[in-house]
Chains A and B, each alone.
Chain A
């Protein structure tokens, strides 16, 4: 079984400050890891993914995430947050051996960026 934990319900940050959203995962095999963002009344939008290779993954809108196998973490980061980054962020995991491609999502973290 696979699972994802996002330990923070909400993260508050001032505009221009660095933003970090935490995620830890559990899978029986090797993971594929994903971050999605959801704006109010919209669907989930893909931000970035880790499949293999470099542990630092760069994605859309200046976001990046670092895969840490020993800590089973995949934290999302942005060096300088914008007010427009305020949204709900989801981490998701897929077991590499799962050929069907289903994703297990975390509970989500609400990011609030204040001017």
Chain B
């Protein structure tokens, strides 16, 4: 079973700063990774699929990279609406089983 670890658990930054979030898999997951944003009281919102592809309507300040075991989500210039919890998620090839990381909270410094 693949385990996803996210770091840091909490990231305290100011608006306008750059956020760098990490997701590490316990074994190689190729590029089978997605990233979500979740704000309090709201459903998760898909940001990134296939490790680096922005989903529909996602601003260009969100970018992601990585393959194998190490992945990064970068927010270049935090907007007030970006303060939220971010989850990475892996999809097993077959059967289709999905695993989430524990999340990184980005809060206002």
Asked if A pairs with B, the answer is no
